[in-house]
Structures are given as C-alpha cells and as structure tokens.
Chain A
Amino acid sequence: EPEVTQTPSHQVTQMGQEVILRCVPISNHLYFYWYRQILGQKVEFLVSFYNNEISEKSEIFDDQFSVERPDGSNFTLKIRSTKLEDSAMYFCASKPSGAGAGELFFGEGSRLTVL
C-alpha cells in the first residue's frame, strides 16, 4: 500500500541551526501539508502546498519556515534558525485530487529536538 515517507525519523540540532525535514508524498497525490505536534498536544496545521505554491499557512509558519518541492517526488520543510520551541514531531501529509475534503494521508513523522 502506498505511503508517505519521512526522513529523518529523529534529528537533534543546536539552537540557531538550520534543519531540513524531507517527505516523499504518495506518488499521485497533488496536495501536500506539514503539521506539527508538540509532545502531548494536538496536531497543528503549518502549511498547505498545491501546484508548486503555498495555498495556506498558519501563524506558526513564520519567516523562519519554508517549504519546497525541488523535484517530482520530494517535499521539504526548512527551518532556517531553530528555536527551542521548535522541538516537536513534524508530520507530512498528502491528499489526492478528487479524494474529497480533508482525507489526508500522514507519514510517521520526524521528531525534531532542539538543544
């Protein structure tokens, strides 16, 4: 069964360092998302991406964050200068066109620890 894959599964970084989280969405999907989940809290929307551009972003997704689809398969989230409060699990999700509102397929997440 096709699945969303994310790398790395866990990354530890020093505050102020740049981090890139990578995602390979399901191949025929057209809508891509990043969510984050701080330990023990709810899953929060960061950004949605369609047709090679951001379609919506939340207040969390400030200038330190960026997304890119550099080729036909990868979808990346970059945090330019990490802060302690960026420590969280980051989930990538994708959705096919025509699947209906809201049915997102999530990856297993990338845990980011900022020291």
Chain B
Amino acid sequence: GENVEQHPSTLSVQEGDSAVIKCTYSDSASNYFPWYKQELGKGPQLIIDIRSNVGEKKDQRIAVTLNKTAKHFSLHITETQPEDSAVYFCAASIRRDDKIIFGKGTRLHILP
C-alpha cells in the first residue's frame, strides 16, 4: 500500500521567514496530494491540495510543489506568522473514493 514519509518532524522558524516541509510517497499511482493543518485540540483541516497533472499550486502565502518522477511533494509557507504554528500533515490518495494516507506530521513553531 501507499506509504508517505514526511520531514522534518519539528521545524522552528523565525516570524517572517519561510518554512518548507517535504514529503515522499511510494505508490506511483497516487494522484492527489492534500496538506492538512492541525491546531491543538482540533481535527485536521485542508489548507491546500495538488493533483498529479499539476507541478505547482499557490494560494497566497502557501504553495505546494509536486515532482512525480521523484515522488516528492513539498509545502512552502512564506512570510510566516504566529498563527501558522500548528502540526502540518501531508497525505496522498490514489483513487477518487479512496482513503488518504497521512505522513507523520511536522510540528511548526513560529518564533517571535
């Protein structure tokens, strides 16, 4: 089955700087890659996603890149703010109706 690896497990970034989180996936049939943000005591919430027919997608301060050949995808957060502090999960999904498989998560700390 699909396996998603995520790095780093913890990331501390000065407020205003950029943060990058990287993931790899194992199943070349995966075609959908969402990123979820989990704040303390809450469920994961989708922040951005990318499909396999696209190499990059941007939404304000957040961007995601996908390299299908290398089976890598990354989340980039620019101009980080205190409210960006959370746990971020990458995930992969093969089929429209299939489950999504999560990475282990990255705890992002934005330092004042």
Contacts and interface: CB of A to CB of B under 8 A. Distances in A.
Contacts of A91: 43-44
Given A31-B97, A45-B101, A55-B97, A103 B43 contact: no
Interface residues of A, number: 25
B104 interface: yes
Contacts of A50: 97
Nearest to B1: A58
Given A4-B43, A48-B97, A93-B43, 19 more contacts: A31-B97, A33-B99, A43-B44, A43-B105, A48-B99, A55-B97, A56-B98, A58-B99, A91-B43, A100-B32, A101-B97, A101-B98, A103-B34, A103-B46, A104-B34, A106-B36, A106-B44, A106-B45, A109-B43
A58 B99 CA distance: 10
Contact of A43 (B31, B96, B102): B102
Given A102-B49, A102-B91, A45 B44 contact: no
Given A42-B104, A107-B43, A100 B96 contact: yes
Interface of B: 31-32, 34, 36, 41-46, 49, 51, 89, 91, 93-105
Interface in A34-62: 41-45, 48, 50, 55-56, 58
A104 B96 CA distance: 11
B100 A104 contact: yes
Q: Which DSSP category, helix, strand, loop or mixed, fits chain B's interface? A: loop
B12 to A, nearest CB: 17
A86 interface: no
Contacts of A100: 32, 51, 96
Contacts of A41: 104
B40 to A, nearest CB: 11
22 contacts: A42-B102, A42-B103, A42-B105, A43-B89, A45-B99, A48-B99, A91-B43, A91-B44, A93-B43, A100-B51, A101-B32, A101-B51, A101-B93, A101-B96, A101-B97, A102-B34, A102-B98, A103-B46, A103-B49, A104-B34, A107-B43, A108-B43
